[in-house]
């Protein structure tokens, strides 16, 4: 059995706590490795080491820090296929989807190369007689990232790239379900020239999270995961005086207007609803067609597309549409919620409950499901299912559809499909959701914009990546300077009588 490790001071370090978590191959259901779960002592030692290494790294000029990121980009591209294959084997994503996971993280590293410009302060000349005022952006010190299982490359890269290039040391606690890729990335950063100790990758569970939250050394915490944990981390960080950006669950609605291209909308829904087995916070899980005629026509188009989806392991080739979910517990929870939808009166149009894949009967595969005539009081509407399940809620009018999305407790992403510019502009202006797509089903912003949800999808004032990341991982120091006049006249060589 393969035993994983922590990454401390630039070295592989075996766990000493005696506690381990199983790392599965989701396609077969077999345990392929065990990962150590850090003790408080291990975590505190790593934090102390990071604090020591940060001093010199923070004093390194931004251009030299950016050069490390330049080399890191080259190394990720060199090892892209290897990273994607390991990611697929632990998470279950298809190989193309795994490469996309790495690629979207890589784009944030590319943006971070612009640190010399993004870290520039402000300057005011002659704010008063002989007075200048200028500001500096300086690193916080030691910061932490707590990242989820569903994007084991992208989210760690979103956290570590901006934080490191701003001059901080980073404690990264990846998901214990698929920890190998973050450990591989740490080695690539060392190869790129990152000094030992500036990045520590510590595997753990809630105990490790609490050690991060209670450490007086750590100045900021970035988290992505479920809403209850996001809120817990945000509240604990506030209590201990840390900055926090915590992103939680989602229930993303896609509104389909009567004038929309329904074939385009159906294709978009299938990709956004079932890609990555629905295990992503930007998945579309609720379709909201406006009008009965629109709804009937949409369902008619969705059913054959969904029934043709190919579900299988990443080793089956690039034409696989999605793979297994991450654990047996996740599969059981999805099927429990599907059954609740049936029990509460929703119409299960495509039923994937009996899905089984020959040769992979012990894998964590879930067939695709499509519900129609879902109502807002049902559990499948209120809860983030995080699986290949699409719910259809029929709306009579645009205003009713808009209210559905605005009334839901989550506000991560949303989309509208329409040919009418006025409707699209009204939707974008009024909707109380952080990321909006107009004829775009998964509106994930590019690296030079920011990513973040509203309502119970996001806790904290600043978003991930883009300019917000540089604001989050630095603090501003403002200097007011005045120099006495007369020095510029130079020295005097004549004897000056005493007054």
Structure tokens at 455: 């309502």
Instruction: Give CA–CA dist 27/178, Å, rounded.
Output: 14
Asked if residue 453 lies in contact with residue 431, where contact means CB atoms within 8 angstroms, the answer is no
Instruction: Give CA–CA dist 347/162, Å, rounded.
Output: 46
Torsion of CA 381, 387, 388, 391, to 10 degrees: 0
Asked if residue 448 lies in contact with residue 95, where contact means CB atoms within 8 angstroms, the answer is no
If you search the block for the tokens 């099927």, which residue do you land on? Answer: 335
495 contacts: CB under 8 Å, gap ≥ 6: none
Instruction: Give CA–CA dist 366/16, Å, rounded.
Output: 37
Task: Tell me the CA distances in angstroms from 45 to 9, 16, 38, 39, 197, one per residue in order.
Answer: 10, 12, 11, 10, 11
Torsion of CA 141, 146, 152, 153, to 10 degrees: -20
Q: What are phi and psi of 34, to 5 degrees?
A: -125, 140
Q: Tell me the residue length of the chain.
A: 499
Tell me whether residue 281 is one of the annotated catalytic residues.
yes
Q: Pick the catalytic residue: 118, 255, 265, 281?
A: 281
Nearest in space to 315 (alpha carbons), one of 103, 99, 93: 93
Asked if residue 405 lies in contact with residue 416, where contact means CB atoms within 8 angstroms, the answer is no
Torsion of CA 403, 406, 410, 412, to 10 degrees: 120
Max alpha carbon distance in the chain (Å)?
105
For residue 305, the number of C-alpha atoms closer than 13 Å in the C-beta half-sphere is: 21
For residue 157, the number of C-alpha atoms closer than 13 Å in the C-beta half-sphere is: 28
Q: What amino acid positions are annotated as catalytic residues?
A: 281
């Amino acid at each position: 059995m393969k035993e994983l490790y922590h990454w401390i001071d630039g070295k592989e370090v075996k766990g000493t706590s005696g506690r381990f978590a199983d790392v599965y191959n989701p396609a077969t259901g077999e345990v392929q490795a065990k990962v150590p779960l850090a003790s408080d002592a291990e975590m505190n030692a790593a934090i102390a080491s990071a604090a020591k290494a940060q001093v010199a790294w923070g004093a390194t000029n931004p251009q030299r820090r950016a050069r490390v990121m330049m080399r890191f980009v080259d190394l990720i591209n060199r090892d892209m296929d290897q990273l994607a294959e390991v990611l697929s084997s632990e998470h279950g994503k298809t190989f193309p989807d795994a490469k996309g996971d790495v690629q979207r993280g890589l784009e944030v590293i590319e943006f971070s190369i612009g640190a010399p410009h993004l870290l520039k302060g402000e300057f005011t000349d002659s704010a008063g007689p002989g007075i200048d005022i200028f500001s500096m952006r300086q690193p916080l010190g030691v910061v932490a990232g707590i990242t989820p299982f569903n994007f084991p490359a992208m989210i760690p890269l979103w956290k570590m790239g901006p934080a490191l290039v701003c001059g901080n040391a980073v404690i990264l606690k990846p998901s214990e379900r698929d920890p190998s890729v973050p450990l591989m990335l740490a080695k690539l950063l060392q190869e790129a020239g990152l000094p030992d100790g500036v990045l520590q990758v510590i595997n753990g569970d809630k105990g490790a999270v609490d050690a991060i939250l209670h450490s007086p050394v750590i100045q900021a915490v970035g988290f992505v995961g479920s809403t209850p944990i996001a809120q817990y981390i945000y509240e604990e960080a506030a209590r201990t005086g840390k900055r926090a950006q915590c992103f939680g669950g989602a229930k993303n609605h896609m509104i389909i207007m009567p004038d929309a291209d329904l074939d385009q909308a159906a294709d978009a829904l299938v990709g956004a609803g079932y890609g990555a087995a629905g295990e992503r916070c930007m998945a579309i899980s609720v379709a909201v067609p406006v009008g009965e005629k629109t709804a009937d026509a949409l369902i008619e188009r969705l059913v054959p597309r969904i029934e043709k989806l190919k579900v299988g392991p990443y080793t089956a080739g690039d034409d696989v549409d999605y793979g297994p979910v991450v654990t047996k517990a996740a599969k059981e929870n999805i099927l429990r919620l599907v059954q609740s939808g049936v029990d509460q009166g929703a119409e299960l149009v495509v039923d994937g409950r009996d899905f089984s894949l020959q040769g992979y009967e012990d894998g964590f595969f879930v067939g695709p499901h499509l519900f129609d005539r879902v109502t807002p009081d049902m559990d499948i509407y209120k809860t983030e299912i995080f699986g290949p399940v699409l719910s259809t809620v029929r709306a009579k009018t645009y205003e009713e559809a808009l209210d559905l999305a605005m009334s839901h407790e989550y506000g991560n992403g949303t989309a509208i499909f329409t040919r009418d510019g006025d409707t699209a502009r009204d939707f974008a202006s009024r909707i109380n959701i952080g990321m909006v797509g107009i004829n775009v089903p998964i509106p994930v912003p590019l690296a030079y914009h920011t990513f973040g949800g509203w309502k119970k999808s996001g806790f904290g004032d600043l978003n991930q990546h883009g300019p917000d990341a540089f604001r989050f991982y630095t603090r501003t120091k403002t200097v007011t300077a005045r120099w006495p006049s007369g020095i510029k006249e130079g020295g005097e060589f004549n004897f000056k009588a005493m007054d």
